[in-house]
Structure 1
Amino acid sequence: MTSIRRRTLTLIIGLMLAGLALISVLNLHDSNHEIAEVYDAQLAQNARLLQGVMRMPLASEEHSDLYRAFNLALSEAVPRVDGHPYESKIAFQVWNRRGQVLVHTASAPSFTSPPSTPGFSDVTDLNNRHWRAFLLEDKQNDLRIWVGERDDVRADLVERIVRHTLWPNVLGSLILAAMVWMAIGWGLKPLADMAATLRARHSGSLEPLHLTPLPSELEPMQAALNRMLAQIQEVLGRERRFIADAAHEMRTPLAVLRVHAQNLLEAGTEQERRESLEFLIAGVDRTSRLVNQLLTMARLEPKATAALHSIDLAQTVRDSLAQLTPWLLSRNLELAFDVIDSPCKVVSDAAAIDIAMNNLITNAANFSPEQGVITVQLNQSEGFYHLSVDDQGPGIDEADRARLFERFYSRGNAQGAGLGLTIVNTIATRLGGRITLVNRPEGGLRAILSIPDGKPLDAMQRVTRQPPKR
């Protein structure tokens, strides 16, 4: 695609030339019309002047002398030093009632019979020359006065007018085009400066643009570019964190799996091989959970909010618990769900809530004793839905409470990856709520996920509308 400057200039020059052509055509039409009107008036005026001379009260012999004097004077109408080239292109003829020619110029066209229609007419002579003529009938003196003018007189005048007006217009258009070119270049200079700045930047540079002064039309473009660069930096940062976390956390499990594999190869009895194989399977399961948690964290980190829809929070929790029930039963654990009677409609992300429930239930199951009961409750107060998960485990120490939401911090669970509560905390923040951990008086831990009962809140609303602590 051509440059904006060239496209704009082509459009402007094209419109200018089209306008000039239209104006020239209109000027030519108007010039022809006005010239025709003026020359026709002169023809009529010359005919009446000649009529006035022919009406002079003279004797018969004096009229003959007058006609001879006229013809003699008109016969000298040839280009001379004191004459004009157009004299031979203007003709006069006068006939009497008998059709005899009384007065005529040498250049006048020949007629087989005198014209009989008064007024203006177009005539073509024997030499194929075109005349514009005017015939005046003088019935008082039985005269017909004919005055004619060749068309090339008018055509030459129109050509001169067009030539004298067209060339200045063309020259002025060229000068105007050069001025428009420079004006467009000056107007597009900020855009050219931005393009030059972008071309000069290193391919790996992600620093924001700070071009000043900047026209108002380019400010949204600079802001959009800076947002895109910030998003790229964020994506690269998440990628680096994910790679660093994965490399850090996968190193130990892989080393443990290698030890179990070596023990399996070196086992001397069936019992030792079986134990090594069980350890190897458990290590693979733990590594799988670690990978899944890392991928979940990677999906949850972007700042952009997922598509939010109106959902039934109670039904969403029921669906999550239905998926987890067989797994809990296999671990000899019971599940109880207590929900309020009123509808639990919220605008939220069902997938995110499902992930949070999976992590909270898994965390409760890891710390619950065999034959234990995990209780899930859903209630509403002060503009929030509170989803609590209770276990019958040992609870938490106050010294460890602040660290439980750190990445890869796992307390008292050798099979944990240390990411479950971090994921839940990320989801709660994205949905405008929070996660709270409290020890139950009767023993065990209660994890409370508080979700706004309306649309997700912005940062300022979160400061002024925090869920109550339990």
Structure 2
Amino acid sequence: MDGSKKQLNKSIQFWLSVYLSAAILLVAVVTGALSFVFAFDEAHELQDESLRQTASLIDHVPSADEIILVNGNRGSDADSDLLILNLNPVADPVLFGLPDGLHTLDQTGAKYRAFIRTLPDLSRIALLQKTELRDEIANDSAIRTLLPLLVLVPILILLVTWLVQKIFRPIGVLAREIDSRGDLELHAVPEKGLPQEIQPFVHAINRLFERVAQSVQAQQRFLADAAHELRSPIAALSLQAERLEACELNPEARERIIRLQKGIDRSRRLLGQLLSMARAQSNPVVERGPISLLGVCTHVLEDALPMAQAKGIDLGMGETTQDAVVHAEETEVFLIVRNLVDNAIRYNNAGGVVDLGIHHEMGWVVFTVEDNGPGIAQADRQRVFDPFFRVSGLEQTGSGLGLAIVKGLVDRFDGKIELHDSARFASGLVVKVFFNKHPKP
């Protein structure tokens, strides 16, 4: 029962076409049957009228050579449409005894339709016609009345199917328009050209979009405000820690100061990522122009080089790298590259390798970051894009926002991101970011 309801709900257009077509066929069958019966009866009536009119034209007894006899003793033309018989009370006692008018007779095993008439000289004649021939004529006439209906019904079914598709087309267009939107494209659905029956549903969707947009904006404001407000106390704590480090301290206190500074640095980095996330999730659509991906990578490498050198990591561009132009906002591309490079350095082993690469695939510009670190387990590769998720078992602890920020930015310009095992190193990870060469406007 639930399956049938689900199927009906999934294919209203199909079932509406089926029901309307079935109704048309039912009406056509009933109409055709009634038309056939009426046409058949009318053909018989016309033939009866033809017998009457033919008999009224005879005003004397036909001569012997004009008479077409019914039985073989008098000579007969069994294939004749019309038989005219000069009735004799001795030879045809049954026919002679019938009153004037129409009769159905059974003569020599064959059925006839007869019209008996008494002439002015009191002689009597009978006009006979085989019912088999009459039925054949009536059938032909009735079938000819059905031919227009047989042609019209398929045309009508095709027309109804086309009309149903045309009526439902705005719904399909509306569904595709909503489905093609990004996560934060919450502007109202245009109502122009929509059927009146769908407009209440569209009103409800627009009101829902409005409420969701308000909720998202409130969350973004809270996130940005909280991160911004926390900057000042974190900066003050960092300043105090630096002043305290300059004082003469015993080894145990100095070790605790170092731990405190590392904690403050992690907090500062977390606040920076929260602000980046708030900007990445902001609702306004930014101007996206052609950006040199290699140029962005160069700037990121210059900024990340000191951190890489501190860990002895070999950081650079791959040998096969070539420049490519991507259609995106420069700050978005910078955040993507910076977060991926920062993660690769931070979670790699000391003395490791981090290589950046750019190449082309079918319809895509692909940016890659490959390292020989511990990598990410297959089971965690979907969850690492969730905010604040941290992979267990790593020495370095992070905020869990880097890949979430990258995923949000990639989704904004209809790109995609994939995680793969490194093919160059025994262990490691390759992060691939796909930029569409022909993004939607």
TM-score under structure 1 normalisation? 0.43
Larger Rg belongs to:
1
Using CA pairs under 8 Å that are at least 6 residues apart, name the structure with larger relative contact order, 1 or 2: 2
